[in-house]
Amino acid sequence: MNPLWKQQLAGLAEKGKHYLDRWWLQNKDKYQRLLAKPGVVPGVLSVLCLSAALQLTDQWQVVVDDEVVGVTEDRQAIVGYLQELDDCNRKEYESAEMINDLKLARSFGIPAVKTEDMQLVLQDKLEWGIPGAVIAIDNRDVLAFKDLSSAQAVVANIKQKTTERLANLYKTFNVTALNIRENLQVIEKPVAIASLVDEATAETFLLSGQRKEVRHIVSRGETFTRIAASRGIRPSELAEANPGVKATQLQIGQELAVTVPDPLIHVEATAEVTETKTVPFETEYVKDSSLYKGEKKTVTKGQNGIDEVTSVLTLVNGQTVGSEVKTTTRVKEPVTAVVKQGTKVAVVTGSGRFVWPTQGSITSPYGMRWGKMHYGLDIGASRGTAIVAADSGVVVYSGRRGNYGYMVEINHGNGYVTRYGHCSQLLVSKGAKVSRGQLIAKVGSTGYSFGNHLHFEVLYQGVNKNPINFLR
Ligand SMILES: [Zn+2]
């Protein structure tokens, strides 16, 4: 196809004449007066001479959209340059056409500009266009696209965002209404190539628009991060908008500047969503005299229930702005936990009679051993074997202590103290009241120990005694 501008140039001779004629109409009086002066060649003849002179000049006015943008002496170079621009645009868009009205008209008397300067002017003034499409909002063209389907895809994608957002959040949802608040139209019309946008850019632009600044008053419990999240911006953006404000020192009632997106379009949607919600179980405590005070035993394990909640959501551009519960259906009832609470009060004062603190055989007696005094009685037992209090009393130590490893020390309130060393696990804590025979720890090999055993000590008035003399 012959580009439009070539057709324009083809009719040049005629247009040149037109411009010349117009120039002549505007200026002939002045020239005729000049020529008509006595001693000068008679007027009619002079006009003829002028016309002849005009034919000899090779200067061309370059006229873009009825504006003379310059004069050139090298018509060929300008035509060649136009061809170059045209090829360049057609390489990208086959149907590209120059959209300006371009004319070359014979000129004279106006100084010509350099060809390079003329080319720069043309590059700036001329535009190529294609048969494309626009998105118009409230009858104003906002974005230009290469074709109708791109423009339509952008609108469809923006609408789709609501569905995507819901699909991310809910297993079951049903969009009952989806409308664009603005009057949005997709229109097929010629557009300038320079104004074209791709689909992703268009979407961002329509949904973000120009950002606008609003004020935010800090209310109780609000943090910097929470304010940013509630406004749909990053904490760093909030910080940037509020230089000098310390994020950790927000005051209730303080005013913050918040720059929020100001979308060009608002997709309003209503959707019915169904989600399951956990119903936490309750715990019932039952007093039990067979357990010591402070002891607890779970009889029935609690189980959370499940509610199925259907709500009606209102969304704008995929963000939930309203929610109303429609129905709640109990799918699973929670199971109440039942926990026994001990009431038995431990006897604090010991009886002076000791039971064997663990089941096992004596591996090392009380007395001199390897030239050193062994203050305890070692009872060999496998790891995890129960250790019980030899008599009732109060736990005065429960923890790690040097060579003992994990140990428990019980004061029986009658001058006697017992110690239980090398434990693998401690089951009572300092201050606990224990009864004779009550489980307090488990056999192990912690501290200075070779193999699992219980190192058991008995002290009276702070002096170690041979434990074997107290065990029955
Ligand atoms: Zn020992």
Q: Best-predicted range by mean pLDDT among 55-59, 66-70, 229-233, 323-327?
A: 323-327
Q: How far is the CA of 441 from the centre of ligand 1 (A)?
A: 16
Does residue 356 form part of some domain?
no
Reading the block at residue 60, the tokens are: 């061309």
Q: How far is the CA of 295 from the centre of ligand 1 (A)?
A: 31
The CATH number of the domain holding residue 326 is 2.20.230.10
122 and 139: one domain?
Answer: no
In terms of pLDDT, which residue wins out, 44 or 28?
28
The reported pTM is 0.51
Please list the residues that pair with 190 across neighbouring strands: 131
* Number of domains forming the structure of the chain: 5
Q: How far is the CA of 378 from the centre of ligand 1 (A)?
A: 5
The CATH number of the domain holding residue 462 is 2.70.70.10
Q: How far is the CA of 415 from the centre of ligand 1 (A)?
A: 22
Does residue 352 form part of some domain?
no
Q: How far is the CA of 472 from the centre of ligand 1 (A)?
A: 20
Does residue 332 form part of some domain?
yes
271 and 255: one domain?
Answer: no
118 and 56: one domain?
Answer: yes
* For residue 356, pLDDT beyond 90: yes
For 195, the domain range is 135-208
**Percent of the chain whose predicted confidence (pLDDT) is above 70:** 85
Please report the beta strands in 146-183, taking only residues with DSSP state E, as ranges in sequence order.
Answer: 172-180
Q: How far is the CA of 428 from the centre of ligand 1 (A)?
A: 21
Q: Alpha-carbon distance 224 to 350, whole Å?
A: 60
Q: Alpha-carbon distance 234 to 249, whole Å?
A: 18
Q: What value, to the nearest 5°, has the Cα angle with vertex 344 and ends 339 and 350?
A: 140
User: What is the pLDDT at residue 58?
Assistant: 74
Window from 26-35, 41-50, 61-70, 461-470 with minimum mean pLDDT = 41-50
pLDDT tens for each residue of 140-174: 898 999 999 999 999 999 988 888 888 888 888 99
Q: Alpha-carbon distance 209 to 357, whole Å?
A: 79
Q: What one-character DSSP code corresponds to residue 424?
A: S
Last residue in a domain, options 236, 260, 284: 260
Within 8 A by CB and 6+ apart from 23, the residues are none
Alpha-carbon separation of residue 302 from 174, 334, 338 (angstroms): 35, 7, 7
Indicate the SS3 state at residue 224: helix
Nearest Cα residue to 373 out of 451, 462, 465, 471? 465
In terms of pLDDT, which residue wins out, 455 or 43?
455
| Mean of pLDDT values over 180-205 | 90
| Mean of pLDDT values over 453-459 | 96
Q: How far is the CA of 377 from the centre of ligand 1 (A)?
A: 6
**CB 439, CB 387: distance < 8 Å:** yes
